Copies of this chain bind each other. A is one copy, B any other.
């Protein structure tokens, strides 16, 4: 099982009354994932942000703030300098294109995969989260991947998550000694509007989250990149006001 859609919250909580590691980027999706893990499933949540040399640190500050506001038991930022391996518009000097399509997932694609794709990013994120989970004596990981809006990223697909779950069952002392492993992906089949509705239902304030690929130092969004476009459309589709702080109001 790598999907949450059919799981009953009470069942999950009854089976797993304890710890989980939540990957937190500071964006809308991972904040919603934390809200689900902590307020719906009642895990003791330990949040983990990765500083991988991304272009701005506003999202790392947002991750810390969201973790504290939602009441996580601990928050860690782990640095890994992915600029040394290059290959992405998010870590290298590749220009981030503006969204120029009514289907924003198409606008950044090169051979079907966006230039903002970071090579093996979710593999690296989950690997480090797995290490933290082991030191916390748990096998529960949460990651806010989504296969609807970001189908261009290979490491956001259900088959990737299933393969990582299998890997994790062979990789650690915790698993070898019989500990259960579960990679939770509660958002994987939700639209952006459904994700937003879920978060609002759980009392999440999205004004504290940063999704923009090139936010400024104060966490204000550009309003023009692919990520901003998907996010804004999500609020419109959900029928709620967009609380995002923009550098200038998008036209």
List chain A positions with a Cβ less than 8 A from chain B: 76-82, 84-87, 111-113, 117-124, 126-128, 130-132, 134-135, 154-155, 157, 159-160, 163-164, 166-173, 175-177
| CB-based nearest B residue for A164 | B167
| CB-based nearest B residue for A125 | B127
Expressed in whole angstroms, the minimum distance between the Cβ of A222 and any Cβ of chain B is 25
A159 CA / B166 CA spacing, docked (Å): 10
| CB-based nearest B residue for A166 | B163
Chain B hits for A84, CB < 8 A? 76-78
B120 and A131 form a contact (CB under 8 A): yes
Chain B hits for A85, CB < 8 A? 76, 78, 128, 131-132, 135
Chain B hits for A113, CB < 8 A? 173, 176
B127 and A87 form a contact (CB under 8 A): no
Instruction: Identify A82's interface contact among B77, B131, B169, CB under 8 A.
Output: B131
Chain B hits for A120, CB < 8 A? 127-128, 130-131, 134, 171-172
| CB-based nearest B residue for A169 | B163
Known A81-B78, A119-B135, A134-B87; contact A155-B172, beta-carbon cutoff 8 A: yes
Known A78-B81, A85-B76, A85-B78; contact A155-B131, beta-carbon cutoff 8 A: no
Chain B hits for A171, CB < 8 A? 120, 122-123, 154-155, 160, 163
A219 CA / B197 CA spacing, docked (Å): 57
| CB-based nearest B residue for A46 | B85
Given contacts A76-B84, A124-B127, A163-B167, 4 further A-B contacts (CB under 8 A): A80-B128, A123-B130, A159-B170, A166-B167
A112 CA / B174 CA spacing, docked (Å): 12
B160 and A87 form a contact (CB under 8 A): no
Chain B hits for A86, CB < 8 A? 135
Instruction: Identify A173's interface contact among B81, B82, B130, B154, CB under 8 A.
Output: B154
Chain B hits for A131, CB < 8 A? 82, 85, 87, 118-121, 123-124
Expressed in whole angstroms, the minimum distance between the Cβ of A34 and any Cβ of chain B is 18
| CB-based nearest B residue for A21 | B85
